[in-house]
């Protein structure tokens, strides 16, 4: 089954009760049993819920995995991965990553004895310099947030397998429409399903997908025991969003290219970060492991002026100044004061998150309206 068909039908079948084409919203906490322990596969909705299970089957299908897990948020999904570790274990992470992930790593799990190494991974061979006997996990985000750096998933997977450690890939920016890390050797895929998978800025959710059964059993135990699950209504919304993922991503990619190209020629713009440019570092890797280059674009203005960057995003009218990304509407953010404010300024700026950096989540509106909006804001 091809990807576009999988988004509609993958892992899905009509509801057995009445043949409903869309899985019903099973808004229930518990299920009747004929005898103690005698039920139809569902006893309590923290453990299993038919609507959530339908979503988890769809997630596994579109990522070419065998097991999917849905959580209350992307951070809850990452939290579950880190609970596979124990005190003394070490994690090698890309140094350019979502601020919330950095905060979870450094302000929560470091206190439990986990050591994190933040490494520039544009050259994946750098990872091996930090591997030791305590290394248990390599954390990759590609394209990265917000610098749109590209990391070679296959190369990272080879290093992980060589040393017997897990490789987890945050696939939020790319989505399975653009890349499927399990096919490139990753062990775990993480999504903030809040973003492109949901696609309509109306639900907060996280997801994991794996192939290995033993790993799946461990993650299911953590999901059930820790309880950071999502509700049936949210599951229904993300499942509905997945069904249009392929058509939305086509337009996100088209508009992203148009916006990046426009910004690259603007006299007030210093630099544009978008992996579709031939001069972008690791463009060749992006071209090899991705089907297209996505709808995320970051740029800096000349002079690196904090106040001017704030003024620019405040003047936008079609782009909404807001956190998050991946919805049908275009959003603009100022990472230094918003999504990445939890990262110390010195560490932020080492990765390129300077005061003038602006991140755009390019939506599916008409590209001429989006360009006109940027034109008036840039003045």
First to last CA, the chain: 48
**Range with the largest mean pLDDT of 33-42, 211-220, 333-342:** 211-220
Residue positions annotated with a catalytic role: 46, 98, 170, 195
Q: Verify that 314 and 237 share a domain, yes or no.
A: no
| pLDDT tens digits, 175-198 | 999 999 999 999 999 999 999 999
Q: Verify that 332 and 226 share a domain, yes or no.
A: no
Q: Verify that 258 and 229 share a domain, yes or no.
A: no
Q: Kindly report the pTM of this predicted structure.
A: 0.96
| pLDDT at residue 304 is higher than 90 | no
| pLDDT tens digits, 263-277 | 999 999 999 999 999
Cα 14 to the chain's mean position, in Å? 29
| pLDDT tens digits, 285-300 | 999 999 999 999 999 9
Q: Verify that 277 and 223 share a domain, yes or no.
A: no
- The last residue of a domain, from among 214, 242, 270: 242
Rounded (10°) angle between helices 50-62 and 232-242: 30
Q: Verify that 87 and 100 share a domain, yes or no.
A: yes
Question: For position 42, which CATH number holds?
Answer: 3.40.640.10
> Of 347 and 328, which is predicted with more confidence?
328
Q: Verify that 134 and 227 share a domain, yes or no.
A: yes
Domain count, the chain: 2
Question: For position 282, which CATH number holds?
Answer: 3.90.1150.10
| pLDDT tens digits, 241-253 | 999 999 999 999 9
Q: Verify that 165 and 250 share a domain, yes or no.
A: no
Q: Verify that 323 and 365 share a domain, yes or no.
A: yes
Tokens of 33: 């049993």
SS3 287: helix
Cβ atoms < 10 Å from Cβ of 202: 12
**Domain ranges, residue 350:** 245-378
- In this predicted structure, what is the pLDDT of residue 116? 98
The fraction of the chain above a pLDDT of 90, given in percent, is 92
Strands of the sheet containing 296-301, edge to edge, are 269-273, 296-301, 357-361, 331-333, 320-321
- In this predicted structure, what is the pLDDT of residue 343? 85
| pLDDT tens digits, 82-133 | 999 999 999 999 999 999 999 999 999 999 999 999 999 999 999 999 999 9
| pLDDT at residue 40 is higher than 90 | no
Q: Verify that 49 and 160 share a domain, yes or no.
A: yes
State mean pLDDT over 232-259.
98
- In this predicted structure, what is the pLDDT of residue 37? 87
- The last residue of a domain, from among 242, 272, 292: 242
pLDDT confidence of 16, banded at 50, 70, 90?
confident
State mean pLDDT over 27-45.
93
- In this predicted structure, what is the pLDDT of residue 215? 98
Cα 25 to the chain's mean position, in Å? 25
User: Which residues make beta-bridge pairs with 189?
Assistant: 169, 209
Q: Verify that 302 and 369 share a domain, yes or no.
A: yes
Q: Verify that 232 and 287 share a domain, yes or no.
A: no
State mean pLDDT over 315-329.
97
- In this predicted structure, what is the pLDDT of residue 339? 84
């Amino acid at each position: 089954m091809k990807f576009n068909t999988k988004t509609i039908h993958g892992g899905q079948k009509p509801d057995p009760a009445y043949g409903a084409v869309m899985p019903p919203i099973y808004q229930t906490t518990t299920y009747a049993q004929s005898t103690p322990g005698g039920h139809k596969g569902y006893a309590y909705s923290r453990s299993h819920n038919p609507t959530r299970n339908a979503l988890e089957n769809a997630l596994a299908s579109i990522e070419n995995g065998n097991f999917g897990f849905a959580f209350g948020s992307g951070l809850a999904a990452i939290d579950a991965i880190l609970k596979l570790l124990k005190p003394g274990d070490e994690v090698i992470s890309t140094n350019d990553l979502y601020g919330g992930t950095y905060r979870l790593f450094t302000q929560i799990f470091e206190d439990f004895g986990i050591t994190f190494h933040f490494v520039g991974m544009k050259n994946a061979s750098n990872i091996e310099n930090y591997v030791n006997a305590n290394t248990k996990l390599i954390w990759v985000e590609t394209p990265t947030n917000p610098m749109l750096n590209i990391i070679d998933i296959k190369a990272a997977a080879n290093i992980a397998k060589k040393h017997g450690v897990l490789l987890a890939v945050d696939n939020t920016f790319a989505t399975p429409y653009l890349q499927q890390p399990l096919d490139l050797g990753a062990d775990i895929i993480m999504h903030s399903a809040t973003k492109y998978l949901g696609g309509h800025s109306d639900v907060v959710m996280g997801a994991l997908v794996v192939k290995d059964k033993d790993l799946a059993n461990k993650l299911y135990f953590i999901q059930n025991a820790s309880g950071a699950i999502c509700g049936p209504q949210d599951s229904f919304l993300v499942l509905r969003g997945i069904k249009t993922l392929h058509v939305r991503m086509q337009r996100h990619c088209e508009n992203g290219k148009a916006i990046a190209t426009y910004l690259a020629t603007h006299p007030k713009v210093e630099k544009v970060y978008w992996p579709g440019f031939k001069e972008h570092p690791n463009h060749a890797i992006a071209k090899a492991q991705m089907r297209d280059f996505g709808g995320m674009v970051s740029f800096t203005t000349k002079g690196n002026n904090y106040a001017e960057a704030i003024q620019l995003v405040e003047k936008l009218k079609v782009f909404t100044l807001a956190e998050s990304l991946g919805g049908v509407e275009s959003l603009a953010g100022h990472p230094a004061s918003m999504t990445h404010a939890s990262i110390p300024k010195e560490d932020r700026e080492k990765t390129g998150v300077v005061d003038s950096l602006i991140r755009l989540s390019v939506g599916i509106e008409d590209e001429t309206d989006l360009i006109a909006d940027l034109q008036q804001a840039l003045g």
